[in-house]
């Protein structure tokens, strides 16, 4: 038994070393002339760091929680899904603010970009406090409404009270981080992410293995790390960016109209997505009494997030460049850059997903020794190859459309396919056909691929070229 334990510990150390090595490799690449070949590649390298470090932090959380129990992993994964439902209003401002700031910077009006940030900050601060109160006070009732698996209720409620009660941090961090990125300080916004997540890992170790706080310890570490992240990005923005001193100003009402034009449809899309995910998780909780299927989803998400963060980073980096180029009326360059971003994303995400599927048994064994759980997660990772192929295309083209001002179409696509394929497919394939979590993942992959086709055709139509916010 001791020998087996030592072998498992060795595997964990090796795996973490591999992750750190990947991070170091990307940092080196980002500081060399290789990344300068393409502005898209350069911005992606640095943008990739942020979701990568968030992903690594989540993976380490999962790895450490797995030492407590599989139920603890499933509880935290479920709670985070429901937290996402209640922070959708933050996207009303965040998405619209990035579009307004980037287009005005491209048009040579940094003062207007500063105005947009101030409006975004005030709105998200109010909404963040409101959402925090709701999640802290009504966490138990929320979990009962969604019929969480009984074995997961208590730890999920604990996590939801603590992390959900501090979700105002989720409202403020994107405002300050986006402010840095749209002005070209991508590397600097990364510092807050890195430091915050390192603190998260350290505190996880202390709270879990020294104080034995379990899920409560992971929740406390998450909140503290986000406080540190917020302080860093807010401080850097104040020091590095002097847009406040720029004389350009327009009516606050006009800026708010521009933000809402992009932000409201984006938030609606996010709301539809989060509600869809909530329904999917609810269906998965109904598949068994011990939460095995929803826990397998949590493990799969932690691994697949490597592929997801590629698409998220490219979408984020390309969206800012899209705004700059549209503000400067460089439509052809905008089109060319977006196509490149999609190609880079498809190649990279597919390679990652395929590698994870092929090495699935080894990777999952790091988290759990349950043979049934390992086999189930491996199956989900195979399906995830197709899911990520569609999701990368979705993310890049969808975010580019929103930043251009064409924000309604992604909402329509989401409303149709998320509920027809993802939600309806999960019920039909997962519950009715008895495929359980595998059926749910097939349904979600079909949704992403169907929406990707629609996004491609919409972008190729060129209608986004007439949606510039600068003309308002």
* Banded model confidence at residue 443, pLDDT cuts 50, 70, 90: very high
What is the model's pLDDT at position 86?
65
In tens, the pLDDT along 322-333 reads 888 898 888 998
Sign of CA dihedral 368, 210, 52, 24: negative
Q: Is the pLDDT of residue 385 over 90?
A: yes
Q: Is the pLDDT of residue 40 over 70?
A: no
Would you give the DSSP letter of residue 423? I
- Cα separation, 419 vs 193, whole angstroms: 33
Burial of 7 (0-12, 13-18, 19+ CB in 10 A): exposed
DSSP string, 102-165: HHHHHTT-HHHHHHHHHHHHHHHHHHHHHHHHHHHHHHHHHHHHTT--GGGHHHHHHHIIIIIH
Q: Give residue 444's region: left, alpha or beta (phi > 0; psi -120 to 50).
A: alpha
Residue 416 makes CB contacts below 8 A (sequence gap 6+) with none
- The whole model's pTM is what? 0.72
In tens, the pLDDT along 156-215 reads 889 889 988 998 998 898 899 889 988 888 778 878 888 888 898 899 889 988 888 888
Burial of 225 (0-12, 13-18, 19+ CB in 10 A): buried
HSE at residue 257, side-chain half, CA atoms within 13 A, is 9
Name the residue with higher pLDDT: 66 or 443. 443
- CA distances to 60, 155, 361 from 366, in Å: 11, 22, 9
* Banded model confidence at residue 24, pLDDT cuts 50, 70, 90: very low
Q: Is the pLDDT of residue 342 over 80?
A: yes
Percent of the chain at pLDDT exceeding 70: 83
* Banded model confidence at residue 5, pLDDT cuts 50, 70, 90: very low
Q: Is the pLDDT of residue 60 over 50?
A: yes
What is the model's pLDDT at position 394?
92
In tens, the pLDDT along 264-298 reads 888 788 778 878 888 898 898 888 877 788 888 88
In tens, the pLDDT along 70-111 reads 777 777 777 776 676 666 667 667 778 888 899 989 888 899
Q: Which of 16-25, 117-126, 223-232 has the lowest mean pLDDT?
A: 16-25
Residue 273 makes CB contacts below 8 A (sequence gap 6+) with 414, 418
Residues in the chain: 472
Collapse the DSSP code of 246 into the 3-class scheme (helix H, G, I; strand E, B; otherwise coil) and give the result: coil
Cα 268 to the chain's mean position, in Å?
A: 16
Q: Is the pLDDT of residue 42 over 80?
A: no
| pLDDT, mean over the chain | 81
For residues 10-25, average pLDDT: 43
């Amino acid at each position: 038994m001791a020998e087996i334990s030592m072998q498992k510990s060795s595997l964990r150390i090796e795996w973490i070393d591999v992750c750190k090595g990947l991070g170091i490799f990307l940092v080196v690449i980002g500081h060399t002339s290789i990344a300068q070949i393409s502005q898209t590649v350069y911005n992606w390298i640095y943008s990739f760091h942020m979701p990568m470090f968030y992903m690594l932090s989540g993976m380490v959380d999962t790895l450490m929680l797995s030492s407590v129990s599989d139920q603890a992993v499933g509880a935290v994964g479920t709670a985070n899904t429901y937290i996402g439902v209640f922070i959708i209003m933050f996207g009303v401002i965040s998405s619209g603010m990035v579009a307004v700031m980037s287009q005005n910077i491209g048009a040579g009006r940094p003062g207007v970009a500063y105005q947009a940030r101030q409006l975004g900050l005030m709105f998200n601060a109010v909404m963040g406090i409101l959402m925090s109160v709701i999640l802290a006070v009504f966490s138990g009732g929320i979990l009962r409404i969604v019929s969480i698996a009984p074995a997961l209720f208590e730890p999920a409620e604990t996590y939801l009270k603590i992390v959900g009660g501090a979700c105002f941090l989720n409202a403020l961090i994107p405002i300050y981080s986006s402010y840095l990125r749209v002005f070209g300080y991508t590397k600097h916004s990364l510092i807050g992410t890195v430091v915050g997540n390192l603190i998260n890992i350290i505190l996880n170790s202390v709270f879990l293995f020294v104080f034995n706080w379990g899920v409560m310890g992971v929740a406390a570490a998450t909140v503290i790390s986000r406080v540190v992240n917020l302080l860093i990005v807010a401080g850097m923005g104040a020091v590095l960016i002097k847009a406040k001193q720029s004389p350009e100003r327009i009516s606050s009402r006009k800026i708010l109209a521009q933000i809402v034009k992009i932000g409201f449809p984006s938030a609606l899309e996010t709301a539809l997505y989060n509600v869809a995910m909530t329904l999917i998780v609810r269906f998965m909780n109904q598949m068994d009494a011990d939460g095995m299927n929803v826990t397998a989803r949590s493990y799969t998400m932690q691994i697949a997030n490597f592929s997801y963060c590629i698409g998220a980073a490219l979408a984020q980096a390309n969206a800012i460049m899209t705004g700059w180029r549209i503000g400067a009326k460089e439509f052809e360059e905008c089109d060319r850059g977006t196509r490149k971003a999609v190609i880079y994303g498809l190649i990279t995400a597919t390679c990652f997903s395929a590698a994870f599927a092929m090495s699935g048994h080894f990777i999952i064994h790091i988290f759990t020794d349950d043979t049934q759980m390992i086999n189930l997660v491996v199956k989900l990772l195979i399906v995830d190859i197709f899911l990520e192929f569609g999701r990368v295309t979705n993310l890049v083209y969808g975010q580019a459309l929103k930043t251009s001002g064409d924000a309604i179409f992604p909402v329509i696509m989401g409303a149709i396919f998320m509920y027809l394929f993802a939600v309806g497919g999960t019920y039909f394939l997962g519950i009715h056909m008895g495929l359980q979590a595998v059926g749910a993942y097939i349904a979600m992959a079909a949704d992403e691929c169907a929406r990707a086709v629609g996004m491609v055709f919409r972008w190729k139509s060129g209608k986004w070229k007439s949606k510039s916010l600068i003309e308002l």
